């Protein structure tokens, strides 16, 4: 959701909160341009505002239906195993049935062929 710079900015703020320090120096060192710092803050606020309603809706839905929660990672992996996702399994099933799609016919769609083919036949 956030860009690399925005994640770094938020990381500095989170670290200073944990350590109980003022983040001003660290932010000035990482982002010396004050205009750029304001731009980063603007981007963070804009993205947070856009996603707040979605995350709120997701939290309410997750309380009602636990299947919307991400699955815990398998042993030895750090990411959610996408291959076990029921939606992806279903999409793979559909794709395997659609392996050889017929080519679309050109022309008017009449059973005798296209207009150009009829001209040649005359």
Tens place of pLDDT per residue across the chain (122 aa): 789 999 999 999 999 989 999 999 999 999 999 999 999 999 999 998 888 888 888 888 888 888 887 776 666 655 555 555 666 666 666 666 655 445 555 555 555 555 555 555 55
Residues 6+ apart with CB under 8 A from 22: 16
Buried b / exposed e across 17-53, counting CB within 10 Å, b at 16+? eeeeeebeebbeeebeeeeebeebeeebeeeeeeeee
Q: Which residue has the tokens 């839905």?
A: 61
**Is the separation of the CB atoms in 39 and 5 below 8 Å?**
no
């Amino acid at each position: 959701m956030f860009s690399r710079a925005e994640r770094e900015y938020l990381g500095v703020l989170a670290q200073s909160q944990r350590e109980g320090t003022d983040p001003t120096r660290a932010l000035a060192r990482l982002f010396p341009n004050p205009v750029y710092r304001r731009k980063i803050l603007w981007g963070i606020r804009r993205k947070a505002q856009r996603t707040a309603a979605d995350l709120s809706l997701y939290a309410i839905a997750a309380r009602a239906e636990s299947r919307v929660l991400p699955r815990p990672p398998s042993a030895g992996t750090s990411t959610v195993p996408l291959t076990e996702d029921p939606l992806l399994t279903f999409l793979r099933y559909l794709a395997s049935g659609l392996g050889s799609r017929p080519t679309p016919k050109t022309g008017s769609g009449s059973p005798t062929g296209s207009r150009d083919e009829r001209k040649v036949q005359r």
